[in-house]
Amino acid sequence: MPGHAAYAIGPGTLRLIEGDITVDTADAIVNAANSALAGGGGVDGAIHRAAGPKLPAACRDIIARIGSLPAGGAVITAGFELPARHIIHTVGPIWRGGDQGEPEALRSAYAESINRAVENHLAVVAFPAVSTGVYGYPVHLAAPMALTVMAEALRDGRLREVRMYLHGKAAFERWRAAADEALGGDAG
């Protein structure tokens, strides 16, 4: 049975979910994108496949306007064929040892994704574990930072619910342990 944990934070809820972000019915799901918004592997490729053929054109239009999306930035598109109404595309940093701005860029990727949700009056957002896959960001460093940023948005009422999707039991257990430590206690 897939893992699930919930944490009450201020007026909101943070959920950790072992599963497939592309089936979530949140107001928006976050895509761990590349700077060209071109689709790729991992969660990015899965979201592009599930959203259907209109997503690449929407992404090309954004890139034509802005050039490229830097690490830490975030933009929003429609969800197209996804159950979620919107996709927030963010670029996480590639891990290069931690002394080349990676922590600031990762924090910004989560914070800017939340800002796009708030600007569009969205209350429920689902995230993947940005940068912890092929970009190599160590989970033991990424998880506490991401959880802190998400908890701040819940605590101050900017979001009603955040769902963190994790791929596989091992990832779920690592993030749950980080959440228990960072958020002070066991999940409900």
Residues with active-site annotation: 44
**Is-contact 90 134, C-beta < 8 A?**
no
Please give the C-alpha separations between residue 151 and each of 18, 39, 45, 50, 125, in angstroms, as whole numbers.
19, 29, 28, 28, 12
Quick check: helix, strand or coil at residue 13? strand
111 vs 123: CA distance, rounded Å = 15
**Is-contact 70 94, C-beta < 8 A?**
no
